[in-house]
Amino acid sequence: MGSGYSQELVINLKGVGEKTSKLFEKCGVRTVGDLLSYYPRAYDGFLAPVRACDAISGQVNAVKLTIIGSIVKRRVRNLSIIAFEAADETGRIKMTYFNAPYLASSLKSGTTHIFRGLVQKKGSFLTMDQPKMYSIEEYSSLIGKLLPRYPLVKGLTNNAVMKAMEQAFLGAEASKEYIPSDILDRLGLIGLSEAVRGIHFPANEKMLEDARRRLAYNEFLLFVLRLRLLKKNSEELSNSFPMLETSETRRLLEVLPYKLTSAQLQAWEDILHDISGPSVMNRLIQGDVGSGKTILAFMALLTAAANGYQAALMAPTEVLAAQHFESFKELIDKYDIKTLKPVLLTGALSAKDKREAQRLISLGEVNCIIGTNALIQDKVDYKNLALVVTDEQHRFGVRQREALAGKGFNTHVLAMSATPIPRTLAIILYGDLHISIINELPGGRLPIKNCVVGTDYRPKAYKFIKDQVEAGRQAYVICPMIEEGELDGVCNVTDYTEILRQNLPESIRIEMLHGKMKPREKDEIMEAFARKDIDVLVSTTVIEVGINVPNATVMMIENAERYGLSQLHQLRGRVGRGKHQSYCIFLNTSEGEDAKKRLDIMNKSNDGFKIAEEDLRQRGPGDLFGVRQSGDLNFRVGDIYHDSDLVKESAMDADRILSEDPDLSLPQYRVLKETLATKSANFIDFATL
């Protein structure tokens, strides 16, 4: 978009008032440019109506039915309920509406409508709750359309976003193309303007896929270019913070209750080799969930401190940062480690505590700073910062390192990631880093027992959770959504917490956790769970990375079919971390064959690398936004598995462009260079999940 227009505030769009613009702001949308890059999270496809006998439980269907029998109206407390049956010659479905008195007049026995909504099997009946009702003419005009479903906040409706978006497009000039046309032609990619429009208002599935691929390619190319430029700048950097191995780490290895695995020891040697060597460290430790990366981070931080430097540990969520801080304090107390003085610095702190932490940092009274991204974004006045460890957030790695480099810090960087991505992609996406792989789990762990089940298994699952809790264990239940409403047929944390409270004995303490809670609330919940003051934690995927509560033995994942395999593997990795037998229940709410086949892989394997390879093999066309890829390297539109061909193409293109024009000074790369300088928001912000 012309940069002037994209800087225009959304409040200046026709139909967007003060209230809506405030709501938009909550979603991070302030300008028209922000709005145009506020992509839908899913699409509603209006398919031709099916017959009652073809309606599938667990799916959204449109069914053409005639109302039969009487329309029953009831009141339960302050809820008014309308119930009736509708049928065609092949079968019937029970309909229920809540608090919809306005419907009462249009509902007449004998009239025919299209009912569109989630079909569910209750007992031997098919049911639909709150289906949308259309006249036959109305619906036929919708068939084939894809309506965008935007991420929403309370008060902001999907309709309001669509209206604002339409207005935004009315005034929009063509987006400035910044990818050379020979590349677009070669890869069969559509133009940028067309892609931006297509991602919001696709005329059909083909257009949506074209738009998505084009935008995915943008993300990959920009990403790889940034990597290459960064690598070029850091390769020649000499080691300004040389470090020697300290007796403290050697002593720690002797007193720990376990021996490091040989893969851990190898990775530790790699780290020591780097930080004592001639150039700055840029290393990635890639190890499956539970392979024991944290202790390596601890030893690296300890080494920096013992060498008289400061070091920082960055985690993707405040929850994880707080957990690291607690576990470090424990290690320090238990093993009487005097050199390492940690401090926690996150948004969850009060202003006063934050100031105090910052004071200690600037005075050099602490030497191990644990926090989130804010550690490099905010004004933190470090004293001799020599090492930055990033845990489970390699996808921020590039940006962070750019930020660090921009501040003149040529620190050592140690990234730790549990996403075992296939080697062919790792070479590209981690191309700037040396890699140590931990391909071995600590001994003595019992392999997690898995099962993939349908919705009718829920009561059994609840009973199982109850038994485990009564045996002293804890459980996680994962739902894709935070509150009701965004997508049909998808569980949400808020309602699910209530459902579980009703289905489990009162003695079982159930709480919820999600990204929209205040940082301090999140901390409190996580701490309470770690203390075992909570038995069952109902959460979004905000817990997918790094959380370590070894007493938790059950992971139940609702709507498991909605996640990528690697992400499911991360979630599953929250259990099986202690000495007790652990279990993972994948609840498949779809009846599709593909979902079943994919989930079967989870059932059969606990090996992250194998699963990642399978993910690459299985991801077929047509998944679109249905499945969100795992935490690491999470592009907004692109999916490294689904679009692996584009990842590879973009890497070749980046190399070609840079060999022709190393600092992008040719006129044909002017817009590309500008875009590279401004588009730093390549990734979904994890904290809002």
Which option in Mg ion, ligand ADP, none does residue 290 bind, with CB closer than 5 to 8 A by kind? ligand ADP
Helix axis angle for 262-276 and 294-306, nearest 10°, is 30
Closer residue to ligand ADP, CB minimum distance, 286 or 497: 286
Closer residue to Mg ion, CB minimum distance, 290 or 519: 290
Task: Find the shortest distance in angstroms from Cβ 280 to ligand ADP.
Answer: 24
Task: Find the shortest distance in angstroms from Cβ 445 to ligand ADP.
Answer: 8
Task: Find the shortest distance in angstroms from Cβ 393 to ligand ADP.
Answer: 12
Which option in ligand ADP, Mg ion, none does residue 576 bind, with CB closer than 5 to 8 A by kind? none
Task: Find the shortest distance in angstroms from Cβ 567 to ligand ADP.
Answer: 15
What is d(CA 534, CA 528) in angstroms, rounded to the nearest whole number? 6
Closer residue to ligand ADP, CB minimum distance, 179 or 297: 297
Which option in ligand ADP, Mg ion, none does residue 515 bind, with CB closer than 5 to 8 A by kind? none
Closer residue to ligand ADP, CB minimum distance, 264 or 492: 264
Chain residue whose CB lies nearest ligand ADP: 292
Residues that bind Mg ion (CB under 5 A): 546
H or E stretch at 214: helix 205-235
Which option in Mg ion, ligand ADP, none does residue 287 bind, with CB closer than 5 to 8 A by kind? ligand ADP
What is d(CA 39, CA 395) in angstroms, rounded to the nearest whole number? 20
* φ/ψ (deg, to 5) at 451: -150, 145
Q: How far apart are the first and last CA of the chain?
A: 28
Task: Find the shortest distance in angstroms from Cβ 420 to ligand ADP.
Answer: 11
CA 162 and chain centroid, separation: 24
Q: Alpha carbon of 31 to those of 18, 125, 167, 375, 554: distances in Å?
A: 14, 49, 13, 27, 44
Q: Alpha carbon of 483 to those of 131, 162, 175, 181, 500: distances in Å?
A: 19, 20, 35, 44, 15
Task: Find the shortest distance in angstroms from Cβ 514 to Mg ion.
Answer: 21
What is d(CA 237, CA 425) in angstroms, rounded to the nearest whole number? 26
Task: Find the shortest distance in angstroms from Cβ 46 to ligand ADP.
Answer: 43
Which option in Mg ion, ligand ADP, none does residue 292 bind, with CB closer than 5 to 8 A by kind? ligand ADP
What is d(CA 558, CA 153) in angstroms, rounded to the nearest whole number? 22
Task: Find the shortest distance in angstroms from Cβ 570 to Mg ion.
Answer: 10
Which two three-digit tokens encode residue 302? 């300890």
What is d(CA 34, CA 427) in angstroms, rounded to the nearest whole number? 32
Closer residue to ligand ADP, CB minimum distance, 439 or 668: 439
Closer residue to ligand ADP, CB minimum distance, 291 or 373: 291
Closer residue to Mg ion, CB minimum distance, 387 or 504: 387
Residue 562's nearest CA partner among 616, 636, 646, 624 is 624
What is d(CA 249, CA 44) in angstroms, rounded to the nearest whole number? 56
Residue found by looking up tokens 């498949």 in the block: 588
Task: Find the shortest distance in angstroms from Cβ 252 to ligand ADP.
Answer: 12
Task: Fill in the DSSP letter of residue 683.
Answer: B
CA 369 and chain centroid, separation: 25
Which option in Mg ion, ligand ADP, none does residue 289 bind, with CB closer than 5 to 8 A by kind? ligand ADP
Closer residue to Mg ion, CB minimum distance, 13 or 322: 322
471 within 8 A of 551, measured Cβ to Cβ: no
21 within 8 A of 10, measured Cβ to Cβ: yes
Which two three-digit tokens encode residue 651? 């890497």
DSSP string, 98-116: ES-GGGTTT--TT-EEEEE
Question: Could you tell me the sign of the dihedral formed by the alpha carbons of 255, 259, 262, 264, in that order?
Answer: negative
Q: State the burial class of residue 668 (Cβ atoms within 10 Å of its Cβ: 0-12, 13-18, 19+).
A: middle
Closer residue to ligand ADP, CB minimum distance, 168 or 438: 438
* φ/ψ (deg, to 5) at 416: -120, 130
Chain residue whose CB lies nearest Mg ion: 546
Closer residue to ligand ADP, CB minimum distance, 576 or 638: 576
Task: Find the shortest distance in angstroms from Cβ 297 to Mg ion.
Answer: 8
Which option in ligand ADP, Mg ion, none does residue 151 bind, with CB closer than 5 to 8 A by kind? none
Closer residue to ligand ADP, CB minimum distance, 315 or 657: 315
How do beta strands 42-45 and 146-149 pair? antiparallel
Task: Find the shortest distance in angstroms from Cβ 264 to Mg ion.
Answer: 13
Closer residue to ligand ADP, CB minimum distance, 24 or 476: 476
Which option in ligand ADP, Mg ion, none does residue 654 bind, with CB closer than 5 to 8 A by kind? none
Give the three-state DSSP class for 245: coil
Which option in ligand ADP, Mg ion, none does residue 180 bind, with CB closer than 5 to 8 A by kind? none
Which option in ligand ADP, Mg ion, none does residue 100 bind, with CB closer than 5 to 8 A by kind? none
Residues that bind ligand ADP (CB under 6 A): 258, 260-261, 264, 287, 289-295, 418, 442, 546, 548, 550, 577
Task: Find the shortest distance in angstroms from Cβ 417 to Mg ion.
Answer: 9
50 within 8 A of 62, measured Cβ to Cβ: yes
What is d(CA 276, CA 257) in angstroms, rounded to the nearest whole number? 28
